[in-house]
Amino acid sequence: MIPSTLPRRAGAGFKPEHFADILAAPQPIGFFEVHAENYMGAGGPPHAQLGKLREDHAISIHGVGLSIGSMQPLDRDHLARLKALCDRYQPESFSEHLAWSTHDSVFLNDLLPLPYTGETLARVADHIDEVQSALGRQMLLENPATYLLFTESTIEETAFLAEIARRTGCGLLLDVNNVFVAATNHNLDPDAYVARFPLEAVREIHLSGHSETVDDLGAPLLIDSHDMPVKDPVWALYQTVLRRIGPVASLIEWDNDVPAWPVLREEVVSAQRMLDDAARQRAA
Amino acid sequence: MSEITQKAFAAGLFGASLPPDGLVAWNEAVPQRRYDVYRNNVTASLTGALASRFPAAESIVGADFFRAMAADFIKNHPPHSPVLLAYGDDFPDFAAAFEPARPLAYLPDVMRLEVARGRAYHAANARPLDPAALAAVDPARLGSLVLVPHPALSILSSPHPMVTIWAMNAGERPLGPIDPWQGEHALIVRPRLAVEVIPLPPTGARFFHRLAAGANLAQAAAALEDNGFDLTEALAILLRSGAFTTFKEDVP
C-alpha cells in the first residue's frame, strides 16, 4: 500500500482560473490539491492542466463523490475511475470524506452527515478497506463540518475516527475549519475536540473560510462555505494543532467566490509562516 | 437502522417538509434551519453545476429565472453519477417543455449548443485529419472515403439563429438586433484544446450530418448539389475545422 507522502508544507486548492498565473510566475508551493471528479472527463484542458501541474508540483487528489459513509455498497464504477486517475497522475496523497452523498442511484452533491454507531463504524471501515485495496494506496479520511446531530449516535466523532484509522490503517485529514464550524454548531469547545482527536494519524490539514448565520433559536450556526479567507480563531486552532504535532501538509481551500491567485497565494504564505514557526519550535 | 436514517434524510432534501425524525441539535428538538443547510447545499451546488454548463442560457433568461428552472429540473432529473461533467445533457429538452420558457422558442437550441461545447471540452484528445494524408489519396478514390469523426465533434441545426444568440450571450459578439431572423447551423469542434463553434450554411450542415453518419464523401457531396455551397468550400471547412481524425476506404 503506497503511503500518503505530501510534503509538510502549505499548498493550495487548484482552480483552473489561476492556471495562467501559476504558469506565468512559478513559485515554490508545497502542493496543489484537485477535486477528483473534475478530472474524470476523457481529455481536454482539465487533463492538460493537471498534467502540467503534476510535472512541477506535489499533487493531492481529493475525492468528493465516493460516498464512503453510505450504508449502501460503494459505486464500483466510481472506484475504478478513481483508480485510473491515481494511476495516471501518481498523486502524493488521496483523500475522501467521512460523509455520504449518494442514495439509491441519486447523487446529492453534498457531504451529508452520518450517525456514529457500531453499525456505521463497521460499514465505513469496510468501505475504506475496499478503497485502499482497490487503489493500492493509503487514503486519508476527513472529519466533516456538521450542522445537526443524530439521536441514534452512540460514539463521539473523535473516537469514531480513531477507531477507523486503527482498523484500516488509513490516515486522517484534519479540517481545522470543520472542527471550528462543527464545535460551534454543537456548542462544544474546539480545543477539547482537538485534544481528543487522534492527531498521530493526521497526514494533512485543511484550512478555509466559513460564513455565519443562526439557527431557529438564534444560536450561532456556522456554514462551511469556502468562500473567504481563513478566520482568526481557525488560524489559532491551527497553531494549537501544529504545536502538538509539528509541521504537516496544510491546504488552503477556497472554492466559491474564488479570488485572484495572489490573494489565495497570500493565504498559503500565511500558513507556511506558521509551519516554519512550528518547525523552529520543534528544533528548539 | 442507519439505512432507514439515510433514506429519510435523502428523501427530505428535494422537498420542503420538516426534517426527518432522529435529527436533533444541542438546543432544539426540530432543527429545521440546520437541516435546511443541507437542503440548500444540494440544490445550490447542482444549480451551480448547471450554471457553469449553461452560461449563455443563464444570461438570456436572467439569474432568477435560471435558478427556478434549474430547481425544477434538479428535482425531476437529479444526477445519477458523482461525475457532474455531463449533468444537464437533458436540460435543453426539459427547457423545451418548461411552460414559463415557452415564449423563448430558441432557448433549447442555444442550450444544445452549450451541451455540445461542454462535451467537446471534455472529449478525448485526438489528432485532426492531416490534409497531406488526404492529398495523397488517388483523386479517383476520394469519393469512396469514409471519415472518422473527432470525439469532440457535434453538428447542430436549428430553425432559430442559435449561433448568433449564443455568441451574443457568451460575450463572443455584441448584443444587437438579429436580422434576418433565420435558422442557423454549426460544427462544434475541439481540434486541440480550444472549443470552436463554426457556423455553416444549411447545405454544409447536411454534408457534415451525412459524413458523420457514415456516408462516404461522394454520398455526402450529393447533398451539396443545386446550391451555392460547393465541394471545395465544404472540404476547406472539413480540413480547417478538425472535425474528423482519419479516413478509411468505403469498400462496397
Considering the domain architecture, whether residues B141 and B90 belong to the same structural domain is answered as no
Percent of chain B's residues with pLDDT above 90: 85
- Interchain pair A65, B49: CB under 8 A: no
* End position of a domain, from candidates B59, B74, B104: B104
Please tell me the predicted confidence (pLDDT) of residue B35.
Answer: 96
Q: How far apart are CA B161 and CA B158, in angstroms?
A: 7
Q: Which of B127, B131, B110 is nearest to B55 (CA)?
A: B110
Given CB atoms, is B42 within the 8 Å cutoff of chain A?
A: yes
DSSP letters for A156-180: -HHHHHHHHHHHH--EEEEEHHHHH
Domain-located, residue B115: no
Q: Where are the beta strands (DSSP E) in chain B?
A: 23-24, 145-149, 154-158, 184-189, 196-200, 244-249
**Would you say residue B246 lies in a domain?**
yes
B76 touches chain A (CB under 8 A): no
Q: What is residue B180's DSSP assignment?
A: S
Domain span at B143: 124-252
Indicate if B82 and B135 belong to the same structural domain.
no
3-state DSSP assignment of residue B240: helix
CA distance B237 to chain A (A): 22
My answer on whether B93 and B141 are in the same domain is: no
Do B65 and B25 lie in one domain? The reply is yes
Q: Any bridge partners for residue A150, and if so which?
A: B23
| pLDDT value of position A105 | 94
Q: How many domains does chain B have?
A: 2
Q: For position B48, what pLDDT does the model report?
A: 97
Please provide the size of chain A in residues: 284
C-alpha cell at A12: 493550495
**Chain B within 8 Å of A38 (Cβ-Cβ)?**
yes
Looking at chain B, the whole-number percentage of residues with pLDDT higher than 70 is 98
Residue that terminates a domain, selected from B69, B104, B139: B104
- Option in A37, A104, A149 nearest B82 (CB): A37
Residues B19 and B54 in one domain: yes
Whole-prediction pTM: 0.96
Please name the fold of domain A10-283.
TIM Barrel (3.20.20)
Please check whether residues B97 and B135 belong to one and the same domain: no
Residues B91 and B57 in one domain: yes
Q: Are residues B173 and B244 in the same domain?
A: yes
C-alpha cell at B233: 468550400
**Which residues between 143 and 172 in chain B have a beta carbon less than 8 angstroms from any beta carbon of chain A?**
151-152
Contacting residues of B for A187, CB less than 8 Å apart: 26-27
From first to last of the 284 residues of chain A, give the pLDDT tens digit.
999 999 999 999 999 999 999 999 888 899 999 999 999 999 999 999 999 999 999 999 999 999 999 999 999 999 999 999 999 999 999 999 999 999 999 999 999 999 999 999 999 999 999 999 999 999 999 999 999 999 999 999 999 999 999 999 999 999 999 999 999 999 999 999 999 999 999 999 999 999 999 999 999 999 999 999 999 999 999 999 999 999 999 999 999 999 999 999 999 999 999 999 999 998 88
Question: Could A45 and B19 be called an inter-chain contact, meaning their C-beta atoms sit closer than 8 Å?
Answer: no
Which pLDDT score, from 0 to 100, does residue A284 have?
Answer: 82
Task: Report the amino acid identity of residue A19.
Answer: F
- B145 and B244 in a single domain? The answer is yes
Whether residues B252 and B128 fall in one domain: yes
Q: What's the confidence (pLDDT) of residue B202?
A: 87
Does B119 map to a domain? Answer: no
ipTM above 0.90, yes or no: yes
In a domain, B117, yes or no: no
Classify residue B113: in a domain, yes or no: no
- Three-class SS state of B227: coil
Helix residue ranges, H only, chain A: 19-24, 45-56, 76-89, 118-135, 157-168, 176-185, 190-196, 232-245, 261-283
Contact A204, A140 (CB under 8 A): yes
* One-letter identity of residue A1: M
d(CA B45, CA B42): 5
Choose the final residue of a domain: B48, B76, B104: B104
Examine residue B5 and state whether it is found in any structural domain, yes or no. Answer: yes
| Candidates A40, A78, A148; nearest CB to B25 | A148
